[in-house]
Chain A
Amino acid sequence: MSAIIRMEGVSFSYNSDDPQQTQALQGVSLSIEPGEFVAIVGRNGSGKSTLAKHINAILTPTSGEVWVDGISTKDTDSVFAIRQIAGMVFQNPDNQIVATIVEEDVAFGPENLGIPSDEIRRRIDEALSLVRMSDYALHPPHLLSGGQKQRVAIAGVLAMHPKILILDESTAMLDPLGRQEVMETALRLNRERGMTVVLITHHMDEAVRAERVIVLDRGRVVLDGSTREVFSQVDLLRQLGLDVPQVTSLAQLLREQGLNLQPDVLTVGEMVEQLCQLL
């Protein structure tokens, strides 16, 4: 199968005239297959958002090249096509919702594409149902909770029929329930629709739900592997300014005390299972 996202030697600086300023991305090469659920983690300023913006051609590389579904982002005629393929949801729910009624907000993107109105109607209904917000179609968005607003923002992206959903810290401002709603929505779209998901997060308990984790540091990819491989390297992750879920860190402490636990415990369920065999 051919990659849906491919980056070859991508470097980027925000200010190419200023040699003092370090590059936000330095020689990043990676490829993501259709239907993968990939988490991108890394400390503040490590280049995550810059990388995400290369996937939907908001930014183009200073050197190197990015292909999205086979189209190079260098090809300026294809910018619209690429943004339709790769939809992005950001951190602050209040900055992303433009209309005064939920379904108008979802319609905004497709309307701009000039899609006929009966098709728009179908897309609205489908998108709202995918994020389980159909009952709120006629609600004013400002009365929704943060998690509900983010689901509307995701519906707005889905109405464009993208193949890739990029969530750039989309759960950062949400309460625990809201975070859970957004995570469940992304996981379901991935599982049931085969949607490729790129999840940027500082919450390690969210990152462990991905299949693959890419760690950025100072604009470079420093780790790229299965979630279990990456999260069993607790000390390395800490050096990179990151963390592991509480149960993973607990497993490490208990191992140091001589308990025979696997190093890659990622969830409460796994921890309970292992402890039941020991205690």
Chain B
Amino acid sequence: MSITIRNLSSVYNPGTPFEVRALDNINLSIGEGEFVGLIGPTGSGKSTLVQHFNGLIRPSQGEVVVDGRSLTDKATDLREVRQRVGLVFQYPEHQLFEETVFADVAFGPKNQGVPEAELKERVNEALTLVGLDPSAICDRSPFELSGGQMRRVAIAGILAMRPKVLVLDEPTAGLDPQGRDELLDQLQQLHSRAGMTVILVSHSMEDIARVATRLVVLHRGQIVADGSPRQVFTQAKMLMDVGLGVPQVTELMLALREKGYPVPEVALTVEEACAIILGLHRGGEGQ
């Protein structure tokens, strides 16, 4: 499944004094099996953009094409598109409404017409994916959970629909470090094993560096960088200027370069930084 966006502009409150151009002539093509990290400062248009991916917002100009079908085409069944492009909202816990966790996670697949007998399996699978113990949590009320637990239940509700493309708007905000790592690992597995296309919005440069194969940077409704994480994180100054940053290990590389050490500009993970510094250390001993 691919998503192509052509000349997309999105304007809130057009023609009023509160007119806001949230997206300004975006062109973007996301191929099947990519893992795209979408980053940008608050208000840069990330949440607006991801809501265009499954037709929740209509373009003011331009078009969004999912799997060859334009979402502005009247013949396109948006309900069906939304089952294939699963969107986990920012603050997804606000969408919890059923009396039990089970009913909440089962809601989506039930609407899809998944038979009753299979629902339990779907729910168990999805809850396990987000690191919750189905037997301990299924009968609880979603409103009596901690913030991070609610977030996980909400994500499970989307996974239970088994979408082809998974779009997540800051899913790790509020998760504890272990929960965050587990969710990122799960996303990576859904991507590499099940071939799922994943689009992840995040404010954490460390998380994005670890999992994404491509980075798209939004600023004031426009794409200001698009490339591999390594390419994008070499633009540290630009990223800081727009209110973002680089992973802490990349920061370390930059600080070491400033002291005159011959290290690369970018390290994406702690393991990579470790290898670089060990290399430097051995090199030093050799001299």
Residue numbers of A with Cβ under 8 A of B are: 14-15, 42-46, 49, 91-92, 145-147, 169, 172-179, 202, 204-205, 238, 241-243, 245-247, 249-250, 253-254, 257, 259, 268-269, 271-272, 275-276, 278-279
**Nearest B residue (CB) for A237:** B177
Interface residue SS majority, chain B: helix
| Contact of B173 with A by CB under 8 A | yes
Can you show 30 pairs from A to B with CB atoms below 8 A apart? Answer: A43-B178, A43-B179, A44-B146, A44-B148, A44-B175, A46-B176, A49-B146, A91-B147, A145-B43, A146-B42, A147-B42, A169-B147, A169-B174, A176-B203, A177-B41, A205-B248, A241-B179, A246-B206, A246-B248, A247-B248, A250-B277, A254-B274, A254-B278, A257-B274, A257-B278, A268-B248, A272-B256, A272-B259, A275-B277, A279-B280
A9 to B248, CA, bound (A): 39
A175 to B41, CA, bound (A): 6
Nearest 4 Cβ contacts at the A-B interface: A44-B148, A243-B177, A177-B243, A241-B178
A279 touches B281 (CB 8 A): yes
Other than the given A44-B149, A249-B270, 7 more pairs (CB < 8 A) read A42-B176, A43-B148, A175-B41, A177-B41, A246-B206, A268-B252, A272-B259
A189 to B177, CA, bound (A): 27
Interfacial chain B residues near A15, Cβ < 8 Å: 144
Residue numbers of B with Cβ under 8 A of A are: 40-43, 90-91, 144-149, 152, 170, 173-181, 203, 205-206, 243-245, 247-249, 251-252, 255-256, 259, 261, 270-271, 273-274, 277-278, 280-281, 284
A216 to B120, CA, bound (A): 33
A249 to chain B, nearest CB (A): 5
A275 touches B256 (CB 8 A): yes
A177 touches B244 (CB 8 A): yes
A176 touching B259 in the complex, CB below 8 Å, given contacts A44-B175, A250-B270, A272-B252: no
B144 touches A14 (CB 8 A): yes
B144 touches A202 (CB 8 A): no
A253 touches B176 (CB 8 A): no
A178 to B243, CA, bound (A): 8
Interfacial chain A residues near B261, Cβ < 8 Å: 279
A91 touching B174 in the complex, CB below 8 Å, given contacts A147-B42, A254-B278: yes
**Nearest A residue (CB) for B91:** A92
Interfacial chain B residues near A241, Cβ < 8 Å: 176-179
B271 touches A253 (CB 8 A): yes
Interfacial chain A residues near B243, Cβ < 8 Å: 145, 175-178
**Nearest A residue (CB) for B39:** A175
